[in-house]
């Protein structure tokens, strides 16, 4: 039965876990082997990311406790450049930059400037099990930091001032009460 459920992932949009769900605060488990199930999860994540008009998505955001991210920073009108990273880790980071109006599919209605490292070196493996080493700067560095944060239970909300956090929490509580 689980296998059939996961096969249907490819054809449908996955539910995006949204704040304040505590699942987003979990650290993701390492992927031990890249199984058919892992490939199906990746396909579901890719479909969901593109349909949601996101540039990145961590497995934890769609209810899978796995250290896995998908991302594509190409422009919507450009050629797609999908990337998959399994068990990604930031090995090195340098400098400082501001991610302007950063957003997140798990934090609807929130955009904010966030301080991030200007450069990151990330290691992981691709969906075929090949080692990947990525020297990233600019938008790519920001996306990688954002998605890897998700795998560690960190939300970009955590980088904001106490006032901005409290305003967002009030907004979400009001939205939940209004349902």
Q: What is the CATH number of the domain that holds 120?
A: 3.90.45.10
Q: With 70 as the cut, is the pLDDT of residue 48 above it? A: yes
Q: How many CB atoms lie within 10 A of CB 133?
A: 9
pLDDT digit string, tens, across residues 118-131: 999 999 999 999 99
Catalytic residues: 147
Q: With 90 as the cut, is the pLDDT of residue 111 above it? A: yes
CB 95 within 8 A of CB 107: no
- pLDDT value for 110: 96
Per-residue CA distances from 8 to 13, 26, 92, 95, 162 (Å):
9, 25, 38, 43, 41
Q: Tell me how far apart the alpha carbons of residues 123 and 141 are, in angstroms, rounded to a whole number.
A: 13
- pLDDT value for 138: 95
Domain range for 11 is 2-177
Please, what is the average pLDDT of the chain?
Answer: 92
- What is the domain count for the chain? 1
Q: With 80 as the cut, is the pLDDT of residue 10 above it? A: no
- pLDDT value for 79: 78
Q: Predicted confidence band at 76 (pLDDT cuts at 50, 70, 90)?
A: low
Q: With 80 as the cut, is the pLDDT of residue 11 above it? A: no
Q: How many CB atoms lie within 10 A of CB 10?
A: 14
**Alpha-carbon torsion (77, 90, 166, 115), positive or negative:** negative
CB 124 within 8 A of CB 59: no
CB 19 within 8 A of CB 106: yes
């Amino acid at each position: 039965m689980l296998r059939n459920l996961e096969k249907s992932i490819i054809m449908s949009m996955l539910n995006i876990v949204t704040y304040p769900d505590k699942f987003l605060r979990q650290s993701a488990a390492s992927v031990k082997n890249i199984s058919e199930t892992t490939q199906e999860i990746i396909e579901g994540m890719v479909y969901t990311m593109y349909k949601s008009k996101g540039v990145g998505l961590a497995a934890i955001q769609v209810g899978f406790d796995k250290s896995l991210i998908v991302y594509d920073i190409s422009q919507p009108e450009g050629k797609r450049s999908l990337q998959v990273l399994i068990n990604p880790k930031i090995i090195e980071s340098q400098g400082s930059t501001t991610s302007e109006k950063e957003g997140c599919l798990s934090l609807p209605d929130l955009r904010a400037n966030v301080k991030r490292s200007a450069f990151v070196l990330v290691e992981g493996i691709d969906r075929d099990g090949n080692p990947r080493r990525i020297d990233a700067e600019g938008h790519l560095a920001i996306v990688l930091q954002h998605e890897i944060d998700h795998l560690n239970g960190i939300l970009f909300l955590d980088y904001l001032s106490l006032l901005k956090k409290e305003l967002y929490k009030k907004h979400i509580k009001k939205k939940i009460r209004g349902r």
